[in-house]
Structure 1
Amino acid sequence: MPRMLDVSDEVRAEIGDEEADRLLAGDNAPGSYDCTSCRTQGDSEQERTSTVLFIGDETAVLAFAHATCLPSQVVQVTEEQLQGAVRSITGDSAPAEPDRAAPEQAVLGVTSGLILIAGELHPALVVEPTGPIVRPGSTDIGDDFLPLLIEQGFMPVTQIESVPPVLHGWSVLLAMGQLHAVLQPGAGGGQPVAWWQAHQPLQVTEGWRAAANKHQQVLLFAAPVGSIGRQPREDLLRDALDKAAANGKLVASALPLAGT
């Protein structure tokens, strides 16, 4: 059955006309899917759906999103992030081609909010993948998201009582008042690369932006899939963070602010 899919020209150019036509005809497209942006379920038979192609250095993964959340587009991500997501879904260490990629891929979901610590509001980003993340090159079935971050310098958090230490080399890119990316050190001390990059620049509240400019840093909290969820209010987000910390499923660092 034909799907209500949007396939942008840039996505079509990457996957080819034949694959794009198969998707539009419903041959390779899912009916229901988890939106790669808001992580709630969508139905390409009932609502307009965007095709989103994530591209690393060697791997490409096709995902789907509500058209109201994201336009159809090509998104450049780090190869390590993309390879980990592919392996966590397929259990295979081989790169996935666009026309064989699973429709539901583990990507990093990011929520912004203000966190009260010692009587002061701090700008925070909460990162939770949409699925398990395994160590690059590993064939184990599990979730190495937190161990991988701890190896990068993030600190385990059991209680949110104080500001976590600064993780030098990492930064949060804010430009024109919008959130663009979380940057990590490049290989061999090279230029920083995007660890997470917004599909399109994310709006943040004036209060969040003011707090970021005041502190010149952003607190990044990360938890494995299923630990936080999409919380509609900051008080609920804080409750979810506290529970994840108490359960030993939270790491954090303060990242310097890049941009304004």
Structure 2
Amino acid sequence: MPRMLDVSDEVRAEIGDEEADRLLVGEDAPRSYDCTSCRTPGDPENDRTSTVLFVGEETAVLAFAHATCIPSQVVSVSEEQLQGAVRSITGDSPASSGGPAAPQNVAGGQAVLGITSGLILIAGELHPALVVEPTAPIARPGSDGPGDDFLPLLIEQGFIPVTDTSEVPTLLGGWSVLLAAGQLHAVLQPGNDGGGQVAWWQAHQALSVTDGWRNAVNKTQRVLIYAAPVGSIGQQPREDLLRDALDKAAAAGKLVAAAMPLAGTPGA
């Protein structure tokens, strides 16, 4: 009997008392699972296990995770994000090769961003990070000028200019990073008029991250997001070279950053 399974009140309210009770007595609980966060095996009879309900506009999917990775939560996502997460969980969609950078469309199709994942060492601790760099200058919406407003637009959203990469960026409220089935799906920002979160950046195909990156994010429950204008970072094949590029961008006044929690965790 899976006595170590946790069904939060929030999840129970969504799935109903009958289904929640069946899970708790073991009727509908899996004998084993791959943690939806770290992708390592779990056993609800021996491991403290959380139920995580991903809810889209039309679909809901119940997943399982180590309680040490993510608490039992309801995670609201767009239907497109949910279907992408389902494909990753079921293995129906091949993951990205996880190369150094992956250009993706910004929501609204206004620009193309390159996303690089890596570990950043700050005060002796490894932090999971994403480095965002457009492939071309980004103009302010409605502007037809040749300027690059990428950093000013992010600063207006709450990102902080970075002059020293040895300091952990401050937490940006309302933003979060969607990691499902151990893969990166989206960076979420607050919706308009107090609505739910919407995708600021969304992967067309789930992006793989390294085991070390997943282990670090499971420990910190936060991701550091660094952003720089086109031509500031480049595709760096090693994390030490990526850190050097970040240091140079910061020294040149071309780097902003923010810390974001994982979607579905406290603070998201």
TM-score normalized by the length of structure 2: 0.59
8 Å contact kept, 1:181–1:196: yes
Counterpart residue identity of residue 238, structure 2: R
In the alignment, what sits opposite 1:53? none
Map Cα deviations across residues 20-44 of structure 1 (whole Å, 9 max, x no partner): xxxxxxxxxxxxxxxxxxxxxxxxx
CA distance in 2, matches of 1:151, 1:161: 23
1:78 to 80, 83, 107: 107
Change (3 A) 1:76 1:126: closer
In the alignment, what sits opposite 1:221? 226
1:184 to 168, 183, 189: 189
8 Å contact kept, 1:175–1:259: no
8 Å contact kept, 1:185–1:191: yes
In the alignment, what sits opposite 2:216? 211
More relative contact order in 1 or in 2 (CA 8 Å, sep 6+)?
A: 2
Residue correspondence of structure 1 range 131-210 to structure 2 within 5 A: 131-210=136-215
8 Å contact kept, 1:174–1:259: no
CA-CA distance at 1:139 after TM superposition: 2.0
In the alignment, what sits opposite 1:127? 132
Instruction: Determine what percentage of the aligned residue pairs are the same residue.
Output: 76
8 Å contact kept, 1:113–1:123: yes
Counterpart residue identity of residue 173, structure 2: H
8 Å contact kept, 1:160–1:242: yes
Counterpart residue identity of residue 239, structure 2: E
In the alignment, what sits opposite 2:261? 256
2:121 to 116, 125, 129: 116
CA-CA distance at 1:179 after TM superposition: 0.4
CA-CA distance at 1:76 after TM superposition: 7.8
- Root-mean-square deviation (CA, aligned residues, Å) is 1.9
CA-CA distance at 1:159 after TM superposition: 1.1
1:244 to 235, 242, 249: 249
Number of paired residues?
165
8 Å contact kept, 1:155–1:253: yes
CA distance in 2, matches of 1:257, 1:173: 6
Moved over 3 A (4+): none
CA distance in 2, matches of 1:160, 1:202: 25
CA distance in 2, matches of 1:145, 1:134: 7
Q: Give the secondary structure class of the aligned counterpart of 2:226.
A: strand
CA distance in 2, matches of 1:258, 1:170: 8
Map Cα deviations across residues 180-199 of structure 1 (whole Å, 9 max, x no partner): 00001111111111111112
CA distance in 2, matches of 1:229, 1:207: 22
Counterpart residue identity of residue 166, structure 2: E
Q: Give the secondary structure class of the aligned counterpart of 2:142.
A: coil
TM-score normalized by the length of structure 1: 0.61
Structure 1 runs not aligned, ≥5 long: 1-67, 86-106
